[in-house]
Amino acid sequence: MNATPSRWIPALKGLAPFVLGVGIWLTPIPEGLTREAWHLFALFAAAIFAVIVNAYPLLTSALLAGSIAVLSNTLDPAKAFAGFANPSVLLVVVAFLVAQAVVKCGLGQRISLKVVSLFGKSTLGLAYSIFITDALIAPGFPSNTARGGVLYPIILALSQSSGSVPEDDAKRRLGGYLMFCGMASLAVSSALWLTATSANPIGVSLAAEHGLKVDFGKWLLVASVPALVTIALLPRLIFWIFPPGVTDTPAAPAAARQQLLEMGPLSRDEWVTAVTFSLMVGAWIFAGVLKLNLTAVAIAGLGTLLALRVLTLEDIYLQGSTLATFLWLAVLFALSGQLNELGFMGYVGQRLASMLGGISWPVAYVALLGLYVLMHYMFVSQSAQVLALLGVFLDVGIQAGVPLPLMGFALLFASSYFSTLTPQGGSQNIIFAASGYLTQRELYRLGLITTVFCTVVFLVVGTPWILWVG
């Protein structure tokens, strides 16, 4: 009896974004907004809603919204497709391609095994090895999903070698602890490095529109204290709220050293990749002083890896997901920018600011940050939330009197560490959640606790640090 109605659910879900978009489109235009701004909001809202309810992939939603914006004369084609030439978009895509070299040559796995061999005598030590490994390799990976692909096999091997299996409820907790540490480390390390996730350059570009200029070195300086404090404390917090059962893993360092022995010395490709990445990271750090373009540095790194055949054209051809990222990122970035240019973001900001009228800026700062983090429950993409909300919340904070660097950096960092709030809060979570070591209830509970903890640390520790160095 229930089978027939359930068949209609996918169809209704697919129809819902169009109903929402048409409904907003036909609603009388609020006073203070132009027709183009309101209609573009209808398209943008429908696209984001489609992603939130998992009706369509982000690529599909973005392409439909962008094409309708042009065909309906809501946007000029040059403005709608300007994102394809945006330096931040190109940086993300090129760095995605460069990251394939780390995976392909085995350098990422070697770094992981080396850290485990040094810190893996206990379960807590293994957890710290995960966080340290991720923090070390994060600046070379503009995708926390890609880093998850490096970390996951190591975490799975460590869990299994310690006798932890998903099928045995009594033994799975060690694996569950390490799996969630993997998720949490990706969230925090993404807040530590500008180039650690595709959402960061997007947020930086949006912040720049409000006057906050952030380069690689500035991001690292401001993020270092709250992020490193979080990395120091978070494994112990997870250990306390989700005891792994097994606390000692004396065989792990020896197993890691054995795997390193089997790998042998660094291969030629690993040396090339290591040197190239070191030069790229160094150039990104000193880009402001040396007046280097971040995107040009990434392109130079990709060209070097291709010229030395660490990467081949065949490797590039296989990166269909990178092309998909380029397409949806370019389209949504342009649409979001045009919403701001057409005055919609300012309009929404004024309405939110009026709601915060009379509130002191410290209270407004905490309220806005907390609301921004909690709203991630509605998103399945960090980038989608950054595109939809960061500019609005930053504008409201500025109007409420919050110092620009404080509000800007707080929102930028939150856009990374809130990813563990739900299992679907970031695509990098899926591989760990699908391991079977954690139940859905555990994932949501751990996600809420760790996200609240990160928010508190970045508020208590990060706020005075940002005010001092920001």
| DSSP code per residue over 365-399 | HHHHHHHHHHGGGG-S-HHHHIIIIIHHHHHHHHH
Element (H, E) at 292: none
28 DSSP 8-state letter: P
**pLDDT of 218:** 94
pLDDT in tens, 413-440: 999 999 999 887 877 887 788 788 988 7
**pLDDT of 4:** 52
Distance (Å, whole) CA 310 – CA 303: 10
pTM of the model: 0.74
Query: What is the amino acid identity at position 87?
Result: P
pLDDT in tens, 381-417: 788 788 888 988 998 899 889 999 999 999 999 999 9
**pLDDT of 200:** 93
Distance (Å, whole) CA 454 – CA 229: 10
* Phi-psi domain of 280 (left: phi exceeds 0; alpha: psi -120 through 50; beta: other): alpha
**pLDDT of 1:** 46
**pLDDT of 5:** 58
> Which stretches of the chain drop beneath a pLDDT of 50?
1
**pLDDT of 358:** 77
308 DSSP 8-state letter: T
170 DSSP 8-state letter: T
Distance (Å, whole) CA 73 – CA 99: 39
Task: Work out the angle between the directed axes of helices 391-399 and 361-374 (0-180°, nearest 10).
Answer: 170
Return the closest-CA partner of residue 176 out of 469, 441, 458: 441
**pLDDT of 159:** 81
**pLDDT of 131:** 93
Which two tokens mark 105?
């040559």
Phi and psi at 122, nearest 5°, equal -135, 165
What letters, b where the CB count within 10 A reaches 16 and e where it falls short, cover 434-462? ebebbeeebbeebbebbbebbbebbbebb
Residue pair 215/251 in contact by the 8 Å Cβ criterion:
no
